[in-house]
Structure 1
Amino acid sequence: MSVDKINKKSLCLIDIDPELETRLQGVVNVQPENMLTLQSYGPEISHPYGDIMRSIIIAVYQENVEEIFVVGIKDKETDPVDLESLLYSESKGMKDKVERLDYLFQNCRPEFSGGKVIDWLEGKKNITESIEKSVEIIRNHPFIPSYVKVRGLIINNRSGEFSIIDGVTREPLLKS
């Protein structure tokens, strides 16, 4: 292991999973004090100028981050949330709000990229597509310097295999 690799600061955008951060330290080959994590429900950047992206940009400049990983869990076992029934069952007022926001998503505001409110809340169902999109948003963001490496990482909980998503190429990283 080279000295450069040990001292390099890395940022990992991860799903909310208490064990994931510890497992990642060995995979990304970074000492714990040099690894920053941002936790989110689903490691997805839905907007290039949203709060998650803002935190990533500040970390790059404030903490001298040189490498960013967007980490997803391929076979995450969670109870599905029925957002539609949750939103619509609360009150008629909530239904009206959702309908108004749906109109905005589809017709008015450029920052709403089509679809419906439910689609935005649920995020992408395909973890690989979600990570690829997030990596692309970070990599192509005007505030992210070109020297910062941005990669996706998918963890398969069943097999213990880790795969890197780097644009079009995907290669297995290691098996635990």
Structure 2
Amino acid sequence: MTADERSEPAITAAERPMLEGWLAYHRDTLALKCAGLTDAQLRETSVPPSQLSLLGLVRHMSEVERHWFRNVMAGEEAKSLYCTAEDEDGDFHPTEADTWEEAGTTWRAEIDAAREIAAKHGLDDLSIGRSRKGEHFNLRWIYTHMIEEYARHNGHADLVRERIDGATGD
């Protein structure tokens, strides 16, 4: 993917297309940050003591998509993909055996599942899952949170990618 292949979010869209446009833009941005790298490069960490890598970020966002759309919005009980009781941050700890092929495929599948779930709901529809305080989330809140989550991690991805090969940009 190149920066030119990303769809810029519309600047005059209605609320839902605007939210979906920004979420798609940020998903594409993470894919762009990973494009053209080897599995070894995708596993490279930023700077000690951080264990942050591009592959770890993609795995993390798979977990985040799964949690907010499948578990919270739809009320599924989808188990964690990479995190375990022994390693609660397992998504951020890829091993030499972990590949872009698996992580990218899993991430895209979770995005597809998120889109299917969201398509069944209006922005004001409440989640089945609840917050720690017992409150339901509306889809609007979940979209906004996902945009924030991607934007934050895309900032991390910018720095990791620059460290790997000097590539900068949005």
Q: Which has the higher helix share?
A: 2
Q: Normalization by structure 2: what TM-score?
A: 0.26
Larger Rg: 1
Q: Normalization by structure 1: what TM-score?
A: 0.26
Return the structure number with greater relative CO, CA threshold 8 A, min gap 6.
Answer: 2
